[in-house]
Structure 1
Amino acid sequence: MTMQRNVPMAQTDSADAARSAAFMDSYLDALNLVERLHRLLLDVIKDEFERLGLLELNPVQALLLFNVGDNEVTAGELKSRGYYQGSNVSYNLKKLVEAGYMHHERSMVDRRSVRVRLTEKGRGVHMVVSRLFRKHAEGLIARDILDLDGVEEIATALRRVERYWTEQIRYIY
């Protein structure tokens, strides 16, 4: 704050307004980038599945199988982890069970609750997506696009934004 003592008030306000506007522009650019990256990730998965001839799954379903992995979960757990919206996860789980990618079983404790886990067919899809992500990670490193420190910095910043947004939602209700 000592630097601002010698700066006229109007100049300080102008500089603050310029910094605020620059931050807003960068924030909106980052939001657009996150949205585009998510859509692009789905396109990358779709292209890989088309290349392999796995046409009965959409990219969201493939990502859902990847995220379930070796776990046994409920739809509610997938929603609470922040992966999927309510109707979206229920619809996709139903389709994945019908297609033989997931096994479902009613909870003995709460008959309303259904637990799901991957079948052998579902584990195969999990492996395809896992190999795809591993190949991408290796490519990012090999082409000097991103290293461990860079990816950790991105993840840390995104987690902070996630916490902030979560707090905003909780504050509303």
Structure 2
Amino acid sequence: MLAPAPRDQRPTAEPQSLDVALSELTDAYLESLQLLERMHRLMLDLVKDEFERLHRGDLTPVQAMILYNLGEAEVSAGELRSRGMYQGSNVSYNLKKLVAMGYVHHERCDMDRRSVRVRLTAEGQAVRDMVRRLFIRHAEGLAMSGVLEDPPLDSVNLQSRRIERFWSEQIRYIY
């Protein structure tokens, strides 16, 4: 009769190789989280530098990104928060500032007076166009350098959307 294997030993090499693969995937995922955070900060720095170059010191990079993400739409502050990369309290504060500076028009919703709908003014649209031109310039430079080809950016975006969907499901699962 065979003695049972000790609990801390694995019976085959297969689970160990699975553990190694899982560890490598985990390391790659953690690195991608760090890259996302750094890229977001760099994007804000790029917007800041562009606005300094254009002598536009009246807006913060986050405010410029709110204008960019608002685009042609008329949305509530909550919808804007879910579309962008902002904390809830920051959206409210920044929207008040943007309204006061004349970049955003707001009005209370007829159906729910607690809800405020916002849209860009002509001045806000001009800022959005500046940010859009900056991003187009970057896209053209990246395309010319070949950076967007390997792996193809659409594959990277697909993977990012899958991660975004996973995170969203995790949040819904908690509540």
TM over 0.5: yes
Q: What per-residue deviation string (whole Å, max 9, x for no partner) do you get for residues 84-131 of structure 1?
A: 321111111000001111111122222222111111111110010010
Matching residue of 1:34: 36
CA distance in 1, matches of 2:11, 2:18: 11
Which residue in the other structure is 1:67 paired with? 69
Amino acid at match of 2:116: V
Larger Rg: 2
The reply to whether residue 15 of structure 1 matches residue 17 of structure 2 is: yes
1:127 to 2:129 alignment: yes
1:137 corresponding residue in structure 2 = 139
What is the identity, as a one-letter code, of the residue corresponding to 2:89?
S
How far apart in 2 are the matches of 1:56 and 1:120?
A: 16
In structure 2, do the counterparts of structure 1 residues 68 and 82 end up closer, same or farther at CA, with 3 Å as the change threshold? closer
Native 8 Å contact 2:108 2:117 kept in 1: yes
Say whether the 8 Å CA contact 2:69–2:84 is kept in structure 1: no
SS at match of 1:10: coil
Specify the alignment match of 2:162 in structure 1.
160
Q: Which moved more, 1:147-156 or 1:30-39?
A: 147-156
In structure 1, C-alpha distance between the alignment counterparts of 2:84 and 2:165, rounded to whole Å: 12
Q: Residue 73 of structure 1: CA displacement?
A: 1.3
TM-score (norm 2): 0.89
TM-score, normalisation: structure 1: 0.90
- Structure 2 CA distance, aligned partners of 1:127 and 1:149? 29
Where in structure 2 are there 5+ consecutive unaligned residues?
Answer: 1-9
Cα RMSD (Å) = 1.7
Answering whether residue 175 of structure 2 is matched by residue 169 of structure 1, we say no
Identity of aligned residues (%): 54
State how far apart, in whole Å, the 1-side matches of 2:84 and 2:104 are. 20
Higher helix share goes to which structure? 1
Would the aligned equivalents of 1:140 and 1:147 in 2 still touch at CA under 8 Å?
A: no
* Separation in structure 2 between the aligned mates of residue 79 and residue 48 of structure 1, nearest angstrom: 24
Q: Output the CA distance in 2 between the equivalents of 1:9 and 1:15.
A: 12
Contact 2:104 2:119 in 1 (8 A): yes
Q: Distance in 2 between matches of 1:130 and 1:73?
A: 20
Shift of 1:148: 9.6
Letter in 2 for 1:33: L
How many residues of Structure 1 are paired with residues of Structure 2 in the alignment? 166
The one-letter code sitting in structure 1 at the alignment partner of 2:110 is M
